[in-house]
């Protein structure tokens, strides 16, 4: 059974401002403790097919994530296969009054995810919490940073 974690929250910033922060993935370690490092593996805009090497907090090795779904200004999903775990993470920003509603989702599946569900679910839940809180803080405190 896959591990599925979703967190939806409000940000007091317009969706376009949140989107700019969200897709600048190499700067994620500046505002979320869930990422130790992020390295884009190609030049150019972040879009469908883009890849990045992520060193995620409490993950034993860095993994390459590839963007598999992309809607400009609204959402992206990326996937990774590493160590017997298939990961998919989605990032969605929607207008909400004068601000934004953001939904972050992580799904982990595969043999290792099944065997280590209690451990991996806790780590994933904590990482999603850190990303949500960090994104909110970054967008509300430093909207142009």
- The DSSP H or E segment spanning 78 is strand 75-82
Residue spans per domain, the chain: 3-141
Which pLDDT band, with edges at 50, 70 and 90, does 82 fall under? confident
Q: Among 126, 132, 137, which Cα is nearest to 9's? A: 132
Contact (Cβ atoms closer than 8 angstroms) between residue 119 and residue 19: no
Token digits for 137? 């803080």
Q: Across 6-10, 79-83, 109-113, which has the greatest mean pLDDT?
A: 6-10
CATH of the domain spanning 3-141: 3.30.530.20
The pLDDT tens digits for 21-60 are 999 999 999 999 999 999 999 999 999 999 999 998 877 7
Is residue 103 packed enough to be buried (19+ CB in 10 Å), middle (13-18) or exposed (0-12)?
A: middle
In this predicted structure, the answer to whether residue 143 has a pLDDT above a threshold of 70 is no
Average pLDDT, the chain: 92
């Amino acid at each position: 059974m896959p591990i599925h974690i979703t967190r939806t929250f409000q940000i007091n910033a317009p969706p376009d401002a949140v989107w700019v922060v969200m897709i600048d993935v190499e700067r994620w370690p500046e505002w979320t403790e869930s990422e130790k490092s992020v390295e884009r593996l190609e030049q150019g805009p972040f879009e469908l097919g883009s890849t990045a090497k992520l060193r995620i907090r409490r993950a034993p090795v860095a993994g390459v994530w590839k963007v598999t779904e992309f809607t400009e200004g609204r959402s992206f999903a990326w996937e990774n296969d590493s160590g017997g775990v298939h990961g998919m993470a989605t990032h969605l920003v929607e207008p909400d009054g004068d601000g934004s509603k953001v939904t972050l989702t992580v799904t982990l599946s595969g043999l290792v995810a099944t065997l280590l569900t209690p451990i991996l679910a806790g780590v994933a839940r904590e990482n999603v919490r850190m990303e949500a809180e960090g994104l909110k803080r970054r967008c509300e405190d430093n909207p142009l940073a």
